[in-house]
Structure 1
């Protein structure tokens, strides 16, 4: 099923605020890896870092602190 990048972001944001709250985080801030030191989420979706070449080819970027836990 094809989807726009905005549709994908909306679905991820909904999940981060719903069933996956506390596990998945969503950000539209401009971040770098050091911004996430000590963040206890399993995944922080970076909405500004992804790209969509078309509605069937999308690159998503998500961060995590591999030294936390």
Structure 2
């Protein structure tokens, strides 16, 4: 579900709050690092070139912003 949420809008930054709402629904408590752990596991499986973190904003899937095509 996390990967699906990012791939629905390639290149668009999705905030941690948006991902938490999508994955866990409203009002559910989760550990603060749950999204980070899932992202780490996805990067290990898919490679670090697909999923990126924008500090303070969220995550996106696609080529690194500012990288040559």
TM-score range, shorter chain: 0.3 to 0.5
TM-score (norm: length of structure 2): 0.38
Task: Give the number of the structure whose residues are more often strand, by fraction.
Answer: 1
TM-score (norm: length of structure 1): 0.38
Larger Rg: 1
Specify which structure has the bigger relative contact order, considering alpha-carbon pairs within 8 angstroms and separated by 6 or more residues: 2
